[in-house]
Amino acid sequence: MAEERSIGKQIIHEIGEWLYAIVIALVVAILVHIFVGQITRVSGESMENTFHNGDFLVVSKWDHIRGITPNYDDIVIIDSRVNRERTWKDDVTDVVSNYLSIFSKDAERHDAWVKRVIGLPGDKLEFKDGHVWRNGKELEEPYTKDPTMNYSQTAPVIVPEGHVFVMGDNRNHSSDSRFIGPVPIKNVIGNVVWHI
């Protein structure tokens, strides 16, 4: 009888140790995901031919955490909900939805977009004859899939302070700053550092 109790206590102790290890591993994974980086998957064709639907991207969160403005041509992940204040709570809920999306397509977020930085605060952007002009100079954009055929903007766009202007490389099939407006730097979730 005493031996059975001892075995029972040993099993309970073993289960407790496993649960403790699992909880610690989850906490570390969540902290890494929030503060360091994550792996995400491309959904859609807006960044072709640079990235394709289903490609995996390694995203660094370090600049987002420090509030650093990205550079021209950086490929970034943005929160497309530009008309709402993004807080640290969004970083936490991003982790939850990212893990849930592994198990269910219904949990996938549709507001996290991968785009290229075209304009920085204070830049004057113009769109003429299928090309982008920044501060009076036409951009050379060898990464774009096709010239922008279905967009024209008569008035120049001035990128406000604390914002960036982003576009997809597949300009004719991309929802981006042309439609949602400049993106607050707080909504730049991370920089793509590797493509798998």
| Domains of the chain and any CATH numbers | 36-195 (2.10.109.10)
- Greatest Cα pair distance, the chain, in angstroms, is 87
Chain segment 167-178, per-residue pLDDT in tens? 999 999 999 999
- In sequence order, the 6+-apart residues with CB closer than 8 A to the CB of 73 are 116, 117
Q: What is the pTM of this model?
A: 0.84
| pLDDT above 70: residue 106 | no
Catalytic residue annotation: 46, 115
Chain segment 129-172, per-residue pLDDT in tens? 888 999 999 999 999 987 766 676 778 999 999 999 999 999 99
| Spatial separation of the C-alpha atoms in residues 170 and 100, rounded to whole Å | 29
Q: If you average pLDDT over every residue of the chain, what do you get?
A: 88
Mean pLDDT to the nearest integer, 18-25: 92
| H or E stretch covering 97 | helix 88-103
The first and second tokens of residue 63, run together, are 């600049």
For position 104, what pLDDT does the model report? 66
Chain segment 53-99, per-residue pLDDT in tens? 999 999 999 998 898 999 999 999 999 999 998 988 888 787 777 66
| Choice between 138 and 31, residue whose per-residue pLDDT is larger | 138
- How far apart, in Å, are the Cα atoms of 82 and each of 16, 78, 136, 138? 44, 9, 27, 27
- Nearest C-alpha neighbor of 39 from the set 118, 140, 141, 112: 112
Confidence band of 107 (pLDDT split at 50, 70, 90): low
Contact 176, 77 (CB under 8 A): no
Contact 166, 118 (CB under 8 A): yes
